[in-house]
């Protein structure tokens, strides 16, 4: 096995794949990348048995073959080499020799046969959409995923494929984020899958705001995403995601229209004097105004009064200020709509002129 290419061309696929490889592995081969050389191309595969990433690039290939090379060492060596240098990688016995200019490195290898790969995933549904659209959907919802929750099905993101629409939904039980976009593909039936947290984070790092197209292939136990020379495969969380549509408050007819940046900066100021543990702020709604009040155990207090387009009178409800700020940060547009029902109900936040992104924050007793 032997191939050569410029340092920058080698670094790009390595950057895309190396993040999947865990630093602490139970199997030694999982610390390695599977390198496959054939017909003028070289591909790199990394996996942790839950998520697999394959990135390929054109290269000068003189000897086809495959082997596994320590991932982090290969990446660190390539990153440390000078710009523009040509890198030659050659398998010699059970070692791989990396040559670049006057530098030479010899790394141990493990046989390619020991490397676990995902082959066929039995595709039951396929949909294509712009890369920037999918990135935007995931960025607007991923922050609400749970982290190491005993309700394992919350430690990921729901992808809900329905007729003419694709939704991404995440919740940690305290707040919920939903993003939706139209799709043109004909869907045979509604599909709901849960991508694990690590898979979501890897995809977020992979996507760019370019004008490319990505293909989503839904399997029975896997999701595969194809983007140019990169193929991403993730196992799915085997669990039932909560009925998220039941969480979106119905009859929340008490509306407050306010500038997004105005509300966000006021909340950031009030948060300084909120309780460090509970992070609670109280929203007081009256005709034409929105008041924000925060207290802490030291008897300190913050008061903010903002002009708002509302006819609601005498409504007070408490929320975790961090959850409100996260939701506002994920919304776009100048003005936002806060939809409330009463002093004990959750708050629905969305852009004034769009329902593509919706956020629900549960109330907090203060």
Nearest-angstrom CA–CA distance, 295 and 191: 45
Same fold, 2-114 and 248-361: yes
Domain 125-245, second-level architecture = Roll (3.10)
On the 0-12 / 13-18 / 19+ scale of CB atoms within 10 A, 67 is buried
Euclidean distance between CA atoms 151 and 312, whole angstroms: 37
What pLDDT is attached to residue 120? 82
Helix (H) or strand (E) holding 88: strand 86-92
Task: Give the pLDDT score at 351.
Answer: 95
Which token pair is 22? 């865990």
* pLDDT at residue 121, rounded to an integer: 86
| Topology annotation, domain 2-114 | DNA Polymerase III; Chain A, domain 2 (3.10.150)
Please list the ranges in the chain whose pLDDT falls under 70.
none
pLDDT at 25: 77
Cβ 33 vs Cβ 71: under 8 Å = yes
Task: Write down the pLDDT at residue 278.
Answer: 92
Which tokens sit at 268? 């950031």
Fold of 248-361: DNA Polymerase III; Chain A, domain 2 (3.10.150)
Are 312 and 255 within 8 A, CB to CB? yes
Tell me what pLDDT residue 186 has: 79
Q: How far is CA 256 from CA 94, 176, 309, 340, in A?
A: 68, 19, 6, 8
> Please, what is the angle between helix 260-271 and helix 321-330, to 10°?
150
Q: Give the three-class secondary structure for 288.
A: coil
Coil, strand, or helix at residue 108?
Answer: strand
**What does the block give as tokens for 9?**
């061309």
What's residue 366's pLDDT?
Answer: 73
Q: Tell me: the pLDDT tens digits for 107-160?
A: 999 999 999 988 788 899 999 999 999 999 999 999 999 999 999 999 999 999
The separation between CA 81 and the C-alpha centre of its own chain, rounded to angstroms, equals: 31
Domains of the chain, by residue range, sit at 2-114, 125-245, 248-361
Containing 139, the helix (H) or strand (E) segment is: helix 131-141
| DSSP letter (8 states) at residue 204 | H
């Amino acid at each position: 096995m032997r191939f050569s290419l410029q340092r920058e061309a080698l670094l790009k696929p390595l950057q895309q794949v190396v993040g999947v490889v865990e630093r602490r592995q139970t199997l030694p081969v999982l610390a390695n990348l599977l390198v496959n050389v054939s017909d003028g191309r070289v591909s790199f595969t990394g996996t942790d048995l839950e998520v697999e990433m394959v990135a390929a690039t054109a290269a000068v290939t003189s000897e086809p073959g495959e082997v596994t090379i320590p991932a982090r060492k290969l990446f660190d060596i390539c990153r440390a080499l000078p710009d523009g240098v040509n890198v030659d990688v050659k398998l010699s016995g059970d070692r791989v020799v990396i040559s670049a200019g006057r530098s030479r490195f010899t790394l141990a290898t493990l046989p390619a046969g020991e490397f676990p790969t995902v082959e066929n995933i039995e595709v039951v549904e396929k949909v294509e959409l712009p890369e920037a659209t999918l990135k935007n959907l995931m960025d607007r919802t991923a922050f609400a995923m749970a982290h190491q929750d005993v309700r394992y099905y919350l430690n990921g993101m729901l992808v809900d494929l329905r007729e003419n629409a694709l939704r991404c939904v995440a919740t940690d039980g305290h707040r919920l984020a939903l993003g939706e976009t139209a799709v043109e593909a004909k869907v045979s039936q509604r599909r709901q899958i849960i991508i694990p947290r690590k898979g979501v984070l890897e995809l977020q790092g992979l996507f760019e705001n370019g004008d490319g197209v990505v293909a989503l292939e839904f399997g029975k136990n896997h999701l595969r995403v194809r983007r140019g020379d990169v193929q991403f495969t993730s196992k799915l969380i085997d669990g039932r995601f909560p009925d998220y549509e039941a969480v979106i408050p119905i009859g929340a007819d008490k509306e407050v229209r306010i500038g997004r940046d105005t509300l966000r900066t006021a909340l950031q100021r009030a948060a300084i004097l909120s309780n460090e543990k509970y992070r609670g702020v109280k929203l007081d709604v009256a005709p034409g105004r929105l008041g924000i009040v925060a207290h802490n155990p030291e008897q300190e207090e913050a008061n903010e009064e903002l002009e708002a387009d509302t006819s609601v009178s005498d409504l007070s409800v408490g929320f975790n200020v961090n959850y409100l700020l996260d939701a506002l940060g994920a919304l776009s547009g100048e003005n936002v709509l806060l939809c409330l029902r009463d002093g004990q109900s959750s708050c629905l936040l969305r852009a004034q002129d769009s329902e593509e992104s919706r956020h629900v924050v549960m109330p907090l007793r203060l």
